[in-house]
A and B are shown apart, each in its own frame.
Chain A
Amino acid sequence: MTWLERLKRKKIMDPVTAALYLVPAGVIVVVFRLLPIGSAFLLSFFDVKMGRIRGFVGLAQYARLFQDPTFWSSLGTTAYYVVGVVPLSLFLSLFAAVLLNQKIRTLGFYRTVYFLPVVTSLVAVSMVWKWIFHPRLGLLNYFLQFLGGGSLQWLEEPRGIFEMAAAGLNWSWWPDGFAGPSLALIAVIVVAIWRGIGYNIVIFLAGLQNIPDQYYEAARIDGANPRQVFWKVTWPLLSPTTFYVLLSTTIVSFQVFTQIYLMTGPPVGGPMGTTKVIVYYLFEKGFDAGGNMGYASAVALILFGIILTLTLVQRRIVERRVYY
Chain B
Amino acid sequence: MSKGTPRHDIEINAGYRARRTLGRVGVYAALWVGIIIMIVPFFWMLSTSLKSPIEILQFPPTWIPTGHFAQAEDGGSIEVYVISKDRTAGTAVVRPVDGGPELTVLSSEVIDRARLRFSNYVDAWNEAPFARYYFNTIFVTLFVVAGVLVTSSLAAYAFARMKFWGRDNIFVVFLSMMMVPQPVYIVPSYIVLVKLGWIDTYQALIIPWLAHIFSIFLLRQHFKTIPNDLYDAAIIDGCSRFAFLWRIMLPLSKAVLVAVVIFTIVGTWNSFLWPLVMTNTPEVRPLQVGLARFSQEQGTSHELMMAAAAFSIAPLIVAYFFAQKQIIQSLATSGMKS
Contacts and interface: CB of A to CB of B under 8 A. Distances in A.
Nearest to B242: A21
B194 A132 contact: no
B35 A113 contact: yes
Interface in B181-224: 181-192, 194-195, 207-208, 210-211, 213, 216
A112 B163 CA distance: 43
A76 interface: no
Contacts of A303: 181, 183-184
A195 to B, nearest CB: 10
Interface string B38-69: 11111011001000000011111100000000
A247 B232 contact: no
A51 B295 contact: no
A162 interface: no
A293 B191 contact: yes
Contacts of B28: 104
Given A37-B185, A102-B27, A300-B185, A194 B38 contact: yes
A286 B59 contact: no
A309 interface: no
A87 B288 CA distance: 29
Interface in B25-42: 27-28, 30-31, 34-35, 37-42
Given A11-B163, A99-B31, A131-B305, A39 B191 contact: yes
A21 B313 contact: no
Nearest to B337: A248
Interface in A274-289: 279, 282-283, 286-287
B19 to A, nearest CB: 10
A71 interface: no
Most buried by A among B40, B186, B241, B317: B186
Interface string A15-51: 1011101101110110111111101100100001001
B154 interface: yes
Main secondary structure of the interface of A (DSSP, over half): helix
Interface size class, chain B: 35 or more
Given A121-B269, A287-B277, A116 B158 contact: no
Interface stretch (A59-67, A153-161, A172-180, A254-262): A254-262
Size category, A interface? 35 or more
A257 B183 contact: yes
B158 A21 contact: yes
Contacts of B188: 35-37, 39-40, 43, 293, 297
Nearest to A287: B277
Given A13-B162, A39-B191, A202-B332, A25 B288 contact: no
Interface stretch (B87-95, B97-105, B323-331): B323-331
Contacts of A15: 164-165
Contact of B191 (A8, A51, A145): A51
B208 A28 contact: yes
A313 interface: no
Contacts of B191: 39, 43, 48, 51, 293
Interface string A67-100: 0000000000000000000000000000110011
A307 B179 CA distance: 10
Interface in B131-161: 150-152, 154-155, 157-159, 161
A39 B180 CA distance: 13
A244 B302 CA distance: 39
B174 interface: yes
Interface of B: 1, 8-10, 27-28, 30-31, 34-35, 37-42, 44-45, 48, 56-61, 150-152, 154-155, 157-159, 161-165, 167, 170, 173-174, 177, 179-192, 194-195, 207-208, 210-211, 213, 216, 232, 235, 241, 266, 269-270, 272-273, 276-277, 288, 291-292, 295-296, 302, 305-306, 309-310, 312-313, 316-317, 320-321, 324-325, 327-328, 331-332, 335-338
9 contacts: A13-B158, A25-B154, A26-B155, A33-B185, A127-B295, A248-B337, A254-B181, A287-B190, A301-B184
